[in-house]
């Protein structure tokens, strides 16, 4: 079915059709008499053998939705019904902000990729926190991650205060946190990946985390463009701060070997999709092997097939996330990956 409707979707502006589709999905899930039952029965992958516990959280399956798809936590329940084992919302900032000027999202269909320069457009952490509070009351079993960032106008020397505000506001309504310092679309943000400022942010959040009776896992999302020396620093940072793990990787600023026309490939922003698959997997394998598997890694970047997913798991990922592959391949990709995992584990049937 998705192969039939995808060409129609791809005739429209990427950002506009995204909002159209997720709103219709939520309407079908929440309003139609049999909508929820039909959606869940069509995409259900809640199968024994897929469950796993990572950083103290029980996931019904290891395939999640990456941050950026549901920036404001508006569609968590309906997206979860498609079979995702967890949903990561955001990136959210303390104050609402419109993001960068439109157009700011571009499909590179020849490369099965997307370039975006959204710029952390969101309605602010207070709005998200209230939505997630209501969701947790209604559907407490959905695992939700909160991806947090800083406002564009906040100088880097004050960035830690923005992360603290988001952390405090979301603490009771998310299951884990992701510190995003790797988006290429907020000026100067990637400078926070350097060891000293990053240690300051993570240590501050961990100190706040330990003051609570119940702590939340804190993960760091990193760029695929880091050198091996920088990845060595990341391993050391995880060890010294005691954070729960790493998400590898965010979008890339690299533009090598793309086939789409230059008017697209030269757009500013982060590139996601198939072109980032190899580098993302390399980063996962390097971190896992060099650290001796000392911390969990969520693998994301260029997963467009079950084979891509198994590649990342074999490289050392404990969990997976989809974004661009989900857009190009449709929701059926989740079930295909889960079936492949079961078969690989010797549990499923061919």
Indicate which residue of 81, 182, 183, 291 is catalytic.
183
Which helix (H) or strand (E) covers residue 278, if one does?
helix 277-291
Closest CA to 312 of 250, 249, 270, 253: 249
Q: Residue 8 burial by CB count (10 A; 0-12/13-18/19+): exposed, middle or buried?
A: exposed
Which helix (H) or strand (E) covers residue 288, if one does?
helix 277-291
> What DSSP designation does 318 have?
S
What is each CA distance from 59 to 1, 40, 53, 85, 161, in whole angstroms? 28, 17, 6, 6, 31
Of the CA atoms within 13 Å of residue 274, those in its CB half-sphere come to: 17
d(CA 4, CA 13): 18
d(CA 275, CA 305): 14
E-state strands within 63-202: 63-65, 86-92, 105-108, 113-116, 144-148, 176-180
d(CA 105, CA 114): 7
Q: Active site includes 31?
A: no
d(CA 343, CA 350): 7
Q: Which residues are known to be catalytic?
A: 183
């Amino acid at each position: 079915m998705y192969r039939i409707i995808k060409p129609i979707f791809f005739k429209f502006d990427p950002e506009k059709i995204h909002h159209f589709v997720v709103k219709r999905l939520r309407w079908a899930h929440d309003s139609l008499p049999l909508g929820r039952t039909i959606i869940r029965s069509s995409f259900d992958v809640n199968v024994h053998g897929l469950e796993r516990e990572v950083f103290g959280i029980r996931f019904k399956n290891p395939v999640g939705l990456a941050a950026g798809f549901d920036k404001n936590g508006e569609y968590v329940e309906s997206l979860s019904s498609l079979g995702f084992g967890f949903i990561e919302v955001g990136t959210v900032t303390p104050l609402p902000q419109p993001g960068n000027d439109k157009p700011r999202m571009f499909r590179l269909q020849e490369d099965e990729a997307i370039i975006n320069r959204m710029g952390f457009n969101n309605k602010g952490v207070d709005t998200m926190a209230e939505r997630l509070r209501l969701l947790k009351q209604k559907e407490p079993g959905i695992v939700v991650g909160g991806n947090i960032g800083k406002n564009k106008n906040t100088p880097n020397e004050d960035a830690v205060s923005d992360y603290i505000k988001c952390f405090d506001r979301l603490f009771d309504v998310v299951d884990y946190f992701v510190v995003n310092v790797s988006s290429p679309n907020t000026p100067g943000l990637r400078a926070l990946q350097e060891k000293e400022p990053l240690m300051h942010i993570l240590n501050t959040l961990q100190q706040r985390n330990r003051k609570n009776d119940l702590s939340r896992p804190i993960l760091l999302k990193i760029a695929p463009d880091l050198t091996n020396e920088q990845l060595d620093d990341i391993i050391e940072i995880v060890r010294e701060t005691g954070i729960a793990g790493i998400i590898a990787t965010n979008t890339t600023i690299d533009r090598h070997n793309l086939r789409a026309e230059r008017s697209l490939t030269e757009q500013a922003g982060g590139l996601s999709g198939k072109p980032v698959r190899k580098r993302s997997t390399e980063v996962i394998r390097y971190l896992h092997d060099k650290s001796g598997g000392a911390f969990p890694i969520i693998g994301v970047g260029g997963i467009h097939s079950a084979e891509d997913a198994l590649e990342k798991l074999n490289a050392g990922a404990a969990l997976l996330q989809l974004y661009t592959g989900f857009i190009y391949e449709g929701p059926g990709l989740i079930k295909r990956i889960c079936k492949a995992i079961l078969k690989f584990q010797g549990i499923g049937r061919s």
